[in-house]
Amino acid sequence: MSSSHHPAGGYKKLFETVEELSSPVTAHVTGRIPTWLRGSLLRCGPGLFEVGAEPFYHLFDGQALLHKFDFKEGHVTYHRRFVRTDAYVRAMTEKRIVITEFGTYAYPDPCKNIFSRYSGAVEVTDNALVNVYPVGEDYYACTETNFITKINPDTLETIKQVDLCKYVSVNGATAHPHIENDGTVYNIGNCFGKNFSLAYNIIRIPPLQADKEDPMNKSEVVVQFPCSDRFKPSYVHSFGLTSNYIVFVETPVKINLLKFLSSWSLWGANYMDCFESNETMGVWLHVAEKKKGRLLNIKYRTSAFNLFHHINTYEDNGFLIVDLCTWKGFEFVYNYLYLANLRANWDEVKRQAEKAPQPEARRYVLPLNIDKADTGKNLVTLPYTTATATLRSDETIWLEPEVIFSGPRHAFEFPQINYKKYCGKPYTYTYGLGLNHFVPDRLCKLNVKTKETWVWQEPDSYPSEPIFVSHPDALEEDDGVVLSIVISPGAGPKPAYLLILNAKDMSEVARAEVEVNIPVTFHGLFKRA
């Protein structure tokens, strides 16, 4: 992966406010859209980066904008609308930032007296800018708090805010639930466990039943993972799931809940101010049996990294294979994602990225059957991996990874696989967004067995997470297309387009150009028609 130069700084357009559209616009198609590709690409991201004169400071603060590309008989339309969250509606009404976001503190209303300001409880944001996912027949936009927002996937209208706390015991939930083929949803969030110490609950929302009752009403906690620190849960963004096991990776990036709860109303704190790193714990991996909801009493340990995205997890002959996009070390990567950093000139972007934790895609192998007689030995016997798991005399198992992708300051991130057929199963291919010093400038396909890569890249073009869509009659894992929203601000009147690549060799099949800029999007899904 070559180190591209971005002297023009076109990537700054990813962080510019745009207006929503009153109705869908027709995209200009070059190439040929496959006739079988019918449905909608739905994506979330920030679309409003300031309210009046007040700026948002962090990548995860801008107000949630929902995007949709519709595919119908070779034609493509593009639509977008702001999600009518409380955070957005109140900001629009009061013409100022009213609810504190991830890295931006909302100053109290000057019209209220000092006592009413301090007595108010923490107002948690519902800014649903991270992902969109189905529950039963409904679709929800989400961030990582306890609030998710029900949306209409056809019109992009906001239907209602939903508080997960009313259904199940979690303080929040990740934006990366696992959705099984029958519609069952699994997610993880931290909670108060026994004796008021913190823990992590895996929640399960069943598929829609014949009675058509909202599946949310039937949510339940499947298993509780303990926390390495009684008062400081780790930041969790995703987790691993196979047919029989749940894998939770506990990293050294911690949330200081006491700081979160006490100082919030007293001194301009935001979420970012409540993170701290535990410099000595390294990473703890926890495994539970999915069907029985039983924790495995095995202490897996490895050296420190940040983790946001699991690639895939599967079982093989008494081992769990856990493939991850890691960032080495205990310093929080989000410290580098302030908008001032990301909008800086290229030399400054590079300088900052060189100080940040370095990215690496890794494979960890977790043995499930432990014999004390094997103390001091590597327990991994699978022929195809160099990852090791060594049983130590204190009965911990020390893991060393196999590196499946590494490039200096080049991340393979926002990973996607052929999820419907290969989630939780042995697989060969993953698709990722290539971050060059945090600037997204390529799309990459990786063969996790041979480490071969295929890259799509064009000058001054900044893609988003690649979404794999399988051909309806696919016989092979990579038979289908990859969809990504690309911005190319330097190139004429059409600054953005939807790119369609052949998932086998990453060659271009078609693009659908629009005459409006499209800011950064994080995650989304393809909803088949």
Residues tagged in the binding site annotation? 176, 237, 309, 523
Q: Answer yes or no: are the C-beta atoms of 3 and 354 closer than 8 Å.
A: no
Q: How far is CA 120 from the centre of its chain?
A: 31
**Which class for 234: exposed (0-12), middle (13-18), buried (19 or more C-beta within 10 A)?**
buried
Give the residue ranges of the annotated binding site for Fe cation.
176, 237, 309, 523
The DSSP symbol for 384 reads T
Q: Could you give the CA distance from residue 356 to residue 338 in angstroms, rounded to a whole number?
A: 13
Q: Could you give the CA distance from residue 398 to residue 421 in angstroms, rounded to a whole number?
A: 31
Q: Answer yes or no: are the C-beta atoms of 353 and 25 closer than 8 Å.
A: no
Residue 364 in tokens: 């960890």
Instruction: Give the side-chain half-sphere CA count within 13 A for 442.
Output: 23
- Find where tokens 């001054």 sit: 460
Q: Answer yes or no: are the C-beta atoms of 388 and 367 closer than 8 Å.
A: no
Q: Residue type for 164, please?
A: L
Residue 147 in tokens: 């609030």
Q: Answer yes or no: are the C-beta atoms of 193 and 222 closer than 8 Å.
A: no
The DSSP symbol for 164 reads G
Neighbours of 458 (CB within 10 A): 15
Q: Answer yes or no: are the C-beta atoms of 431 and 415 closer than 8 Å.
A: yes
Q: Residue type for 45, please?
A: G
Residue 348 in tokens: 């400054």
Query: Residue 413 forms beta bridges with which residues?
Result: 433
Residue 143 in tokens: 């961030």
φ, ψ of residue 472 to 5 degrees: the values are -60, -30
Residue 433 in tokens: 């967004």
Tell me how far CA of residue 105 lies from CA of 3, 58, 266, in angstroms.
36, 11, 12
Nearest to 431 by CA among 326, 337, 361: 361
Question: For residues 402, 404, 408 and 413, what is the CA-based torsion angle, rounded to 10 degrees?
Answer: -120
Q: Answer yes or no: are the C-beta atoms of 187 and 171 closer than 8 Å.
A: no
